[in-house]
Structure 1
Amino acid sequence: MPELPEVETVRRTLIELVAGKKIKSVTVRLPRIIQRPAVPEQFEDALVGMTIETVERRGKFLRIVMDGLVLVSHLRMEGRYGLFQSEEPIELHTHVLFHFEDGTDLRYKDVRQFGTMHLFTPGTEFELPPLNKLGLEPLEPDFTRDVLFAKLARRLAKIKPLLLNQEYVVGLGNIYVDEALFQAGIHPERTASSLAAGEWDKLHAAICSTLGKAVEAGGSSIKSYVNGQGEMGMFQHQLLVYGRKDEPCHTCGEAIEKFVVGGRGTHICPSCQKAPGQAGKQSTG
């Protein structure tokens, strides 16, 4: 699934591709992609004549902002956008096509068919699902160590599932949680309430650093991810633990281990990230 760095990269490329384009018509080929309005034909009709002003992001969601409507799009597992000439053949698994007046199409392709699109009048998208319950934005200036601490520090749940919960911190998926926890030296099965003050400093810094570097690299192409211009991300070449089971840790040489935490495959260095009970007595001051 595309995580924050991948969605941010798609956002940036889409601005280059479609900002200023006016929609002539829309074709929905798979109705269940359209979650709002309930009738896909209403979705198609509402977008006719709309001009795309910009593309923004909230967590893992894209916000395609037009001069009268906002389209909220989630790529889910394998959704992707691409710009094509209208006369080009339509690829298999292309489910929604936005036909522009200049003779180009923005096409949404989704092999797994899990992606979603919601249409709103501007501003109302933050009051209703799917955006109304999203948590902290880790790339925004107000994402401070103290804000993260206040949000999570008293919780008794394991730190990895908490970081994956989009109602607390948005955009973090399996790859970047594993990477951030490794950089912070925190075992994913530690409870949030067990982390010491200094560990919250390290975790906050690791989240910001990991996501920042991933955005600079265009995200991680682990499976099928490409940006809006068909280009792969390159951050997978910088991963320190994720996908490196049995390979040596770059810090200490210990073999990277993989196991399940909260139903998700999880990668750690058992030497750099001490398991609960091995990390010593912790305080939450």
Structure 2
Amino acid sequence: MPELPEVEITRRSIAPTLEGAVVTGVQLGRPLRWPLGVAPAHLVGAVLGEAQRRGKYLWLPMSRPEGGLLIHLGMSGALALGPERMLGPHQHFALHTTRGSLVLTDPRRFGAVVWSGGLDVDPARKLLQGLGAEPFDPALTGATLHARWRRRRAPIKQLLLAGDGVVGAGNIYACEALWHAGIRPSMLGSRLSPARCERLLAAVRHVLGQALALGGSTLRDFSDAHGVAGAYQHQAAVYDREGQPCPRCGAPIRREVQAQRSTYFCARCQRP
């Protein structure tokens, strides 16, 4: 699933081209998770603003009409910029502009493109209201996360995936951040001390920063809007490395299933 680094890399790859472009047409393929919510013809003539990101959502603001498109890549989605053409079998949305076409390819169709009159009104408000803090927000501290999690009797890995404390640490990055912080993924959030929360936040920022520098992770088919794949997966310390030696202590990496997701960790380095 595209996580925060992949979504941010996508944003960076489309923002310079599309800012100031004028919409010339919209094509819809097979239905996605939610309907577009506006007649495609209503968007023709709109001027695009600078693409933004909130959590795993992209926001493509428009003027005339005021509002924008909220885009989620789902489990397998990717956006690409290119010349206008007919949609392929797994391409379900195309925004044609004076600077090329933005096309969403999503084989599993869990993605979404939704019109909203703004980020502070429905449906965007409803979709974004449960998101936690952005990981690089200077106002976010370990103390903030400790206060959020100190009564949560759920494993810390699941709390990271939930994204209501801090967004962005999907399955790969949650495993990696917990390894860097030396915290067992099964440890209850309520048991984390303020110091451990501070260490975990630093690890989340470190891992996401590395992923951004390396273009995200490409496990199957992710690439940015220009077709460039990510490379973070090649330097992961624990993710998808079951049985291989821990880079820190040499003990074999273990794999367990938590909430139907594979979790990778070092039982020696990561204390409960």
| Structure-2 residue corresponding to 1:189 | 186
| 1:152 correspondence with 2:156 | no
| 1:170 correspondence with 2:164 | no
| Structure-2 residue corresponding to 1:254 | 251
| Structure-1 residue corresponding to 2:69 | 71
| Structure-1 residue corresponding to 2:8 | 8
From 119, 133, 137, the counterpart of 2:134: 137
| 1:47 correspondence with 2:43 | yes
Query: What's the TM-score once normalised by structure 1's chain length?
Result: 0.89
The one-character-per-residue Cα deviations of 1:127-173 (angstroms, maximum 9, x if unpaired) are 63211221111122222222112111232221111111122322221
| Structure-1 residue corresponding to 2:106 | 110
The one-character-per-residue Cα deviations of 1:206-261 (angstroms, maximum 9, x if unpaired) are 01111111111111111211111110011112210001111111100111010112
| 1:230 correspondence with 2:227 | yes
Q: How many residues are matched?
A: 269
Matched residue SS, 1:54: coil
The one-letter code matched in structure 2 to 1:75 is: L
Query: Over aligned residues, Cα RMSD in angstroms?
Result: 1.7
| 8 Å Cα contact 1:28-1:97 kept in structure 2 | yes
Query: What's the TM-score once normalised by structure 2's chain length?
Result: 0.93
The one-letter code matched in structure 1 to 2:145 is: L
Question: 5+ unaligned residues in a row in structure 2: which ranges?
Answer: none
Offset of residue 92 of structure 1: 3.1
134-143 vs 174-183, which deviates more? 134-143
149-158 vs 111-120, which deviates more? 149-158
| 8 Å Cα contact 2:141-2:198 kept in structure 1 | no
Offset of residue 262 of structure 1: 2.3
The one-letter code matched in structure 2 to 1:20 is: G
Structure 2 vs 1, CA of residues 50 and 175 (structure 1 numbering), >3 Å: closer, same or farther?
same
The one-character-per-residue Cα deviations of 1:91-119 (angstroms, maximum 9, x if unpaired) are 331111112235x2211111111111111
Matched residue SS, 2:96: strand
Distance 1:247 1:206 in 2: 22
| 8 Å Cα contact 1:20-1:51 kept in structure 2 | yes
| Structure-1 residue corresponding to 2:236 | 239
| 1:202 correspondence with 2:173 | no
Distance 1:171 1:129 in 2: 19
| 8 Å Cα contact 1:125-1:131 kept in structure 2 | no
Matched residue SS, 1:124: coil
From 56, 59, 73, the counterpart of 1:60: 56
Q: Which has the larger radius of gyration?
A: 1
| 8 Å Cα contact 1:139-1:212 kept in structure 2 | no
| Structure-1 residue corresponding to 2:176 | 179
Structure 2 vs 1, CA of residues 258 and 272 (structure 1 numbering), >3 Å: closer, same or farther?
same
From 258, 263, 267, the counterpart of 2:264: 267
| 8 Å Cα contact 2:58-2:71 kept in structure 1 | yes
| 1:121 correspondence with 2:117 | yes
| 8 Å Cα contact 2:146-2:192 kept in structure 1 | no
The one-letter code matched in structure 1 to 2:204 is: I
The one-letter code matched in structure 2 to 1:16 is: P
Offset of residue 26 of structure 1: 0.7
Question: 5+ unaligned residues in a row in structure 1: which ranges?
Answer: 277-285
| 1:83 correspondence with 2:85 | no
Distance 1:219 1:105 in 2: 23
Structure 2 vs 1, CA of residues 99 and 248 (structure 1 numbering), >3 Å: closer, same or farther?
same
Structure 2 vs 1, CA of residues 233 and 32 (structure 1 numbering), >3 Å: closer, same or farther?
closer
Give the % identical residues.
Answer: 36
| Structure-1 residue corresponding to 2:30 | 30
